[in-house]
Amino acid sequence: MDFNAILDFGKAGEYINAVVEIPKGSYAKVEYRRDGKYFAVDRIEPAIFAKPVNYGFIPQTLDEDGDELDTLIVCEPSLPVGVVVKAKVIGLLDFEDDGEVDHKVICVPEDDRNTGNSVKSLDDLPEAFKKQVEHHFNHYKDLGKPGTTKVHGWKNAAEAWKVIEACGKAYRQA
């Protein structure tokens, strides 16, 4: 399925469309292959590096690493590969992978009745959860490529929207 053809990135300042690549708890590195319009298992990571959060991308965006802009979809359930989530942007993880900028947009489902839609900003996330996410992204490549990933910090939703809009523009210009 060509997500870039059937979905836009969402509505600026309101919501994004996030496509799930890796379910929360999975240690299979699944990637969307834009050229063939399919999902593929890139590799199997050690189980200790299971994703602490659902991981995906925003269609019709292009980040500095040459891929669609990544998302971390914060919610209790593990979501299946290929599912599209209409999501509210709450922040950004400023991240570097192999010397390249590799932003991670932090979002929550727009309608999360499990939490009563209580997560409205990064401040609503427990500090322990944020530390777990930081630890994961600082170390998930340690067994194969140690020292190649670095979390530089968290940014608010306004900063995330600037990155989303810039990546949307980069996609349209490519």
Average pLDDT over residues 65-82: 97
pLDDT value of position 147 = 92
d(CA 59, CA 39): 14
Q: pLDDT-derived band of residue 58, with 50, 70 and 90 as boundaries?
A: very high
Over the stretch 111-152, which tens digit does the pLDDT of each residue have?
Answer: 999 999 999 999 999 999 999 999 999 999 998 899 999 999
Structure tokens at 142: 């340690």
Of the pLDDT bands very low, low, confident and very high (cuts 50, 70, 90), residue 69 is: very high
* pLDDT tens per residue, range 90-113: 999 999 999 999 999 999 999 999
Are residues 93 and 138 in contact, defined by beta-carbon separation less than 8 angstroms?
no
What pLDDT, on a 0 to 100 scale, did the predictor assign at position 172? 96
Helix (H) or strand (E) holding 96: strand 84-97
- pTM reported for the whole predicted model: 0.95
Q: What is the mean pLDDT of the chain?
A: 96
CA distance 129 to 120: 15
